[in-house]
Amino acid sequence: MIFTCKMITKKSKEVWNGEIARINNYGSHYEMLIKSRSSIMLMFGKTSRGGFACAPDFNAGCHLVDFKDLFWNSEKLVSVLGKVDGITAATALYRLYKENINI
């Protein structure tokens, strides 16, 4: 599943593609392999406070709100993964939401 990522600053706009190469449902959480400028293994799921995402290869994780909230999730994931990888991960989650994949 291909998706487009956008990073807009006051001085520029950058666009790149990402791909959800694999997604596994483990019942209590999901595992997704995202290929883009880097390769990101993202574990995510729901909690009593919304959602969560973890990237073990980055030693990073955070709480998220609803998976359809691209802005909030981008802010949270950027803070733990960096700008490009955070935007890529948030956009991948948003793409799953838009495709009506039950997450």
DSSP one-letter string for 16-83: EEEEEEEEEE-SS-EEEEEESSSEEEEEEEEETTEEEEEEGGGTEEEEE--TT-HHHHHHHHHHHH-H
- Is the model's pLDDT at 37 over the cut of 70? yes
Q: Which residue has the tokens 């959602």?
A: 51
pLDDT tens readout for residues 41-82: 999 999 888 899 999 999 999 999 888 899 999 999 999 999
d(CA 55, CA 13): 26
How confident is residue 103, by pLDDT bands cut at 50, 70 and 90?
A: low
Give phi and psi for 9, each to the nearest 5: -120, 180
